[in-house]
Amino acid sequence: MKDAYHVACAIHSSCDYFLSTDDRLLKYHTSEIQMLNPIDFIRRLEGDLNG
């Protein structure tokens, strides 16, 4: 239940990303925020910087 509050706060704060290592939480998708694990987030940033 606390996870839902964290995601809601991130959405309310207009965050672009929500990072988590909780696979159960990451399986849910929303158009309001991108939910990624930290490794995928770094890979995405490296891709943006390199290409």
The reported pLDDT for the residue numbered 37 is 96
The reported pTM is: 0.82
Q: What is the DSSP string of the chain?
A: -HHHHHHHHHHHTT-SEEE---HHHHT---SSSEEE-HHHHHHHHHHHHH-
- pLDDT at residue 23, rounded to an integer: 94
**Measured distance CA(42)–CA(12) in Å, rounded:** 23
Output the tens digit of pLDDT for each of the chain's 51 residues.
Answer: 688 899 999 999 999 999 999 999 999 999 999 999 999 999 999 987 776
CA-to-CA separations, 40 to 1, 12, 36, in angstroms, rounded: 24, 23, 6
